[in-house]
Structure formats: structure tokens, C-alpha cells
Amino acid sequence: MLFKNLFGKPADFKSIYRNGAIILDVRTSGEFRTGHIEGALNIPLDRLGESCSDLKKQDKPVIACCQSGGRSAAALRLLNQAGIQAYNGGGWQTLQRALR
């Protein structure tokens, strides 16, 4: 209950994705090759800053994911600072289940 009160209702990732959001996996390319959400864009977190302008041009919301949620939280801050509507999807496997 406390968690819900602090952070509000969780995002409906399935609906956001169906409405055109980009799935952005910020793990390394090696991690991405071991498994990822079909159709996800892979931009490692350490290269995300240089890609924000290209993402912004697409004018779509972004759902960031990684292995466990830590890097996607950092990505969320970068994306928001660049003026991109973004969500922290957490770990990619958890997000993948939420999108089904």
C-alpha cells in the first residue's frame, strides 16, 4: 500500500506499447544478443545521450528496459531531460511478460 501511495498506479505498458511506444533496451549489445523483446531497439546506456535527439525526432513515447531496472531508471532520467516521454519498464523479461 505504501509503495502504491508513493509511486501511484503502475503504467499500463501493454496499452502504451500498442499505441506506438518504442521499446528501448539499454543493456550492452552482448547482453541484448542473449535475449530481448522482439522489435526492441538496443542503445546501450553509455551511448544513450548521443542518441536522444534521434529518439526525440521519432515523437513517440519510450519504454526503457534493461536486466533488472537499474539502468532503465538512469535511461529514464536522460530521456526525460531530453524532453522525451519515457517510462521505466524495468527488467526486459518482466516487461516482456507485461506486454503479452
Q: In the chain, what are the domain boundaries?
A: 11-34+55-100
Model pLDDT for residues 3-40, shown as the tens digit of each residue: 443 445 578 999 999 999 999 999 999 999 999 999 99
Q: What is the pTM of this model?
A: 0.90
CA–CA dist 84, 61 (Å, integer): 7
Strand 86-91 with 41-42, pairing? unpaired
Average pLDDT on 78-95 reads: 96
Please say whether the structural domain 11-34+55-100 has been given the CATH code 3.40.250.10.
Answer: yes
11-26-78 Cα angle (round to 5): 70
Q: What is the pLDDT of residue 11?
A: 86
